[in-house]
Amino acid sequence: MITEETVDYLHKNGLLLATAESCTAGRIVALLAEVPGSGSLVECGYVVYSPEAKQRLLGVKPETIEQFNLTSVEVAREMVLGALHDSPATVAVATTGLCGNEDVDGIPAGTVCFAWGFVANGRRSVFTQQLRFFGDRETMQHYAALHALKMLPHFHQRMLAGETS
C-alpha cells in the first residue's frame, strides 16, 4: 500500500516530513498515522484553509494569491517552502485546490495543486504538479492525499539526481 511504502521510504532515507494541507484537510498525516512507526517520521502537519492562515502560518504572499489564485502551483510552492522554513523537516508536501463539485473562479472542480519540497546539503528543491480528480469530496481528498504520498519518493529521487521543477 502507498502509505506503508512511503513510511518505509522516509525511514530508509532518513527523511523527516512536514505537511501543509488545504484541500486534503490533514488527510496526508492521517493516512501516515495509520502506519505503525510513522510517528518518528512526521514532524508536523499544517491544515490551512483560509488565505489568512496560509499567509500567517506558512508565509504565502498575498500577491501570489492575488495573481495566481489559491488553487495554483505557485501557492502550493510557497506553502511547502513555509512548512520547511518553520520546521526541522527535510521533506514537505503541500496541497491546495478544489475537492468539491463546483468550479470556482474559472478553475474546474477537482483541481488540486501539489508541491514537494526537499532540503539537502543546505539546498532547497521544490517540484510542483497540478492534477484533476473526480468523485465526491471525500474520494477526491483521499486520492489527492495518496497521490501526494505516492509521488514523494519520485521527486526525492529527482532532487538527488540534481533536477529541479
* 30 C-beta neighbours (distance < 10 Å), count: 15
Helix or strand (DSSP H, E) at 15 = none
Domain-wise residue ranges, the chain: 2-160
Output the pLDDT for position 100: 86
What is the C-alpha R_g of the chain? 15
Q: Taking the complete model, does pTM exceed 0.85, yes or no?
A: yes
**Residues 76, 81, 83, 88, CA torsion sign:** positive
Contact 15, 87 (CB under 8 A): no
pLDDT in tens, 18-75: 999 999 999 999 999 999 999 999 999 999 999 999 999 999 999 999 999 999 999 9
For the range 102-107, what are the long-range contacts, defined as Cβ-Cβ under 8 Å and sequence gap of 24 or more? 104/71, 105/69, 105/71, 107/69, 107/71
DSSP string, 109-146: TTEEEEEEEEEETTEEEEEEEEEE--SSHHHHHHHHHH
Extract the C-alpha cell encoding 89: 523537516
Confidence of residue 165 (pLDDT cuts 50, 70, 90): low
Fold type of domain 2-160: Maf protein (3.90.950)
Distance CA 163, CA 95 (A): 21
